[in-house]
Structure 1
Amino acid sequence: MTRFILPALMAFAMLLGHSAQAQSLTEVRTKLQAALQRNLSRTMIDGALPHLDLETGEVSRFYPTENHEVILQMNDLYVMCAMLVTDAGKEATVDYYMAQNRGSYGVIRTEINNRAPIRALIKAGKAVRLE
Structure 2
Amino acid sequence: MTRYIMPVLMGFALLLNSGAQAQSLTEVRTKLQVALQRSLSRAMVDGALPHLDLETGEITKLYPTENHEVILRMNDIYVLCATLVTADGTESTVEYYIAQNRGSYGVIRTEIDNHAPIQSLIAAGKAIRLE
TM-score, normalising length: structure 1: 0.98
- Structure 2 counterpart of 1:7: 7
- Structure 1 counterpart of 2:19: 19
The CA RMSD over aligned residues, in Å, is: 0.6
Say if 2:90 is the partner of 1:90: yes
* C-alpha displacement of 1:81: 0.2
- Structure 2 counterpart of 1:60: 60
Q: Distance in 1 between matches of 2:36 and 2:17?
A: 29
- Structure 2 counterpart of 1:120: 120
SS in 2 for 1:88: coil
* C-alpha displacement of 1:87: 1.4
Say if 2:89 is the partner of 1:79: no
Q: Deviations over 1:104-128 (max 9, x none)?
A: 1000000011111101000000000
Q: Distance in 1 between matches of 2:53 and 2:120?
A: 22
Structure 1: gaps spanning 5 or more residues? none
SS in 1 for 2:42: helix
SS in 2 for 1:57: coil
Q: Which amino acid aligns with 1:82?
A: A
* C-alpha displacement of 1:3: 1.2
Q: Distance in 1 between matches of 2:80 and 2:106?
A: 12
Q: Distance in 2 between matches of 1:117 and 1:60?
A: 22
Q: Deviations over 1:6-50 (max 9, x none)?
A: 000000000010000000000000000000010011000000000
Taking every aligned residue pair, what percent have the same amino acid on both sides?
A: 76
Q: Which runs of 4+ in 1 moved over 2 A?
A: none
Structure 2: gaps spanning 5 or more residues? none
* C-alpha displacement of 1:56: 1.5
SS in 2 for 1:84: strand
Say if 2:35 is the partner of 1:50: no
Q: Which amino acid aligns with 1:127?
A: A
